[in-house]
Amino acid sequence: MYEIREMLPDDRPAVTALWRARVRWAEDKGIGLIRYCPLTAAETAAAVPFVLTCDGAVVATATIVDQTPHDGWTAREAAQRAVGLVRIITDPALAADRLSWVITSWASDRAARTGHAWVRMRVAPSQLALHLSEHLAWEPVRTVRTADGGTAHLLQHEAREIPGIRALVQDAPAMSGVAGTPPPVRNT
């Protein structure tokens, strides 16, 4: 079973090592530049960085923001209840475990249980956007120009309850700041 919890200061070395391993993997696969360490995304007040652990080891990280992230979304889209999922970084040695699917499913379930309609993301590498769309059911919305002249792909995933993910991923008690606090799950 996995546990998901807010990132602690003691997690920084593991998260940095995870990010470096993923950057090397992306370079080797020709996927494109991963520009920022996930710790950079965690430096904004609205962002809550979290880690996914297995047997106490950090195996993935991401940051969730309780709003539609970044420029490029229309006023109508920005007004919709959505959370932003920023910089999913998974251990490339555990690719068979489909950790990006675990995080996407957890975020979708949690967002739905807190009244959000969407989970949204912005990624730069085209190959990554294609992978997210084809393998994890992220819906491509549009490609936009970034301030530095590059491109970014806006993607969204419908928030929906996925009870089975709660059997696979346990929320640590301190996850209250992530996309609100969902109502307790009732066993019927």
Residue-wise pLDDT for 89-100, tens only, equals 889 899 878 999
Residue-wise pLDDT for 2-41, tens only, equals 999 998 889 989 988 998 888 888 888 877 666 555 555 4
CB 160 within 8 A of CB 112: yes
Residue-wise pLDDT for 74-114, tens only, equals 999 989 999 999 878 889 899 878 999 999 999 999 999 99
Contacting residues for 45 by C-beta, under 8 A, at least 6 apart: none
Look at residue 182 and tell me if it is in a domain.
no
- Residue 125's pLDDT is 84
- Residue 187's pLDDT is 39
Q: Average model confidence (pLDDT) for the chain?
A: 83
Look at residue 183 and tell me if it is in a domain.
no
Look at residue 148 and tell me if it is in a domain.
yes
Q: Is the pLDDT of residue 184 over 50?
A: no
Containing structural domain, residue 59? 2-171
Look at residue 29 and tell me if it is in a domain.
yes
Provide the CATH number for the domain around residue 159: 3.40.630.30
Angle CA 113–56–104, to nearest 5: 35
- Residue 48's pLDDT is 80
Look at residue 184 and tell me if it is in a domain.
no
- Residue 141's pLDDT is 97
* Closest CA relative to residue 59, chosen from 89, 35, 33: 89
Report the domain count for the chain: 1
The reported pTM is: 0.83
Look at residue 75 and tell me if it is in a domain.
yes
DSSP conformational letter for 34: -
CB 118 within 8 A of CB 157: yes
| Tokens representing residue 48 in the block | 């809550």
| Tokens representing residue 116 in the block | 């959000």
Look at residue 115 and tell me if it is in a domain.
yes
